[in-house]
Copies of this chain bind each other. A is one copy, B any other.
């Protein structure tokens, strides 16, 4: 049986309220009593039961985090941001992985509510009507993050994707490229963030009076992109493309792998740019020119949003810094 506040009170010869007061520093306690209590706590090795405390204060100090897959790099960086900032305000993270299953997202949403979490952050890669409408009616504070889909009605954290694409296009143009292909992922294009990225790409191409060359593949995974390698390469050759701007780093890496295996040199024969700056981007050879999406900061801002409404007085959001990483995979034509 664990030591409780009663045991401490008995040993210190005071009431349990006094013990509670010294633990929480909530009300003045005489030095004498405080000393005795502290001594008893030390002797007994007493540690307060947070469960009991939560029950009465109605504060769990828990933030529920539902992710797609913690093994995915960008997800882990977001969680890192959430965790570090949460910790500063004494919040703990409770984690659930959905692996792209909306049923699981729902289950966690409900489970976390029963666990009395004070806020929920969802990192999803899918979009499901049942989930979003459940979230809309949730009384708990929530932030919904989706790397692929726009989520109009849900509290989220936005990046200026449009600007990011423009910046990358400017870089490629500076390097002398004109025939720039945009490699994207088509599915539900109107719902996704690709929508405005493509717009931005198209208007950049229009400015130099070039026909946009948009190529769709239906994946955001490295290996599957690799498997589409030949068809992409065919298109590259047909359209005399000199640079490929990929909507995600994973596509860029998959494509570079395919080109490597075909003995085609990047960037000598073709330039490749990515989007995201996942961990491999700077490790891979050649290093990948890409847009750095600030995953850590996205996590940090998300939890700040939540803490702001439950704790109040949380420092202001930093502006989310999107930056281009000019590296080895793109060169002058």
Contact = CB atoms under 8 A, between A and B. Distances in A.
Interface of A: 47-52, 54-55, 60, 62, 69-73, 76-77, 79-80, 83-84, 87, 92-97, 110-111, 113-116, 222, 253, 256-257, 260-261, 279-280, 283-285
Contacts of A110: 47
A69 B80 contact: yes
B76 A70 contact: yes
B50 A114 contact: yes
A227 to B, nearest CB: 14
A83 B97 CA distance: 8
A94 B93 contact: yes
Nearest to A61: B115
User: Can you list the 4 inter-chain pairs with the closest CB atoms, starting with the nearest?
Assistant: A260-B285, A50-B114, A71-B80, A71-B76
A260 B222 CA distance: 22
B76 A253 contact: no
Given A55-B55, A115-B50, A253 B283 contact: yes
A115 B93 CA distance: 12
Contact of A95 (B50, B55, B83): B83
Contact of A285 (B76, B79, B116, B285): B285
A116 B52 CA distance: 10
Contacts of A283: 222, 253, 257, 280, 284
A223 to B, nearest CB: 9
Contacts of A113: 47
5 contacts: A51-B55, A71-B77, A87-B96, A94-B95, A257-B283
Given A71-B76, A92-B111, A116 B83 contact: no
Given A80-B69, A92-B96, A116 B260 contact: no
A117 to B, nearest CB: 10
Given A92-B96, A256-B285, 12 more contacts: A50-B114, A51-B116, A52-B55, A69-B80, A71-B77, A71-B80, A79-B95, A83-B96, A92-B95, A92-B111, A93-B94, A94-B95
Contacts of A257: 283, 285
Contact of A114 (B48, B70, B93): B48
A72 B71 CA distance: 9
Contacts of A72: 76
Nearest to A260: B285
Nearest to A72: B76
Contacts of A115: 50-51, 92
A284 B62 CA distance: 39
Most buried by B among A95, A97, A222: A95
Contacts of A84: 97
A243 B95 CA distance: 42
Nearest to A296: B71
Nearest to A81: B71
Given A70-B83, A279-B280, A49 B97 contact: no
A47 B112 CA distance: 11
Contacts of A87: 96
A36 to B, nearest CB: 22
A278 B62 CA distance: 31
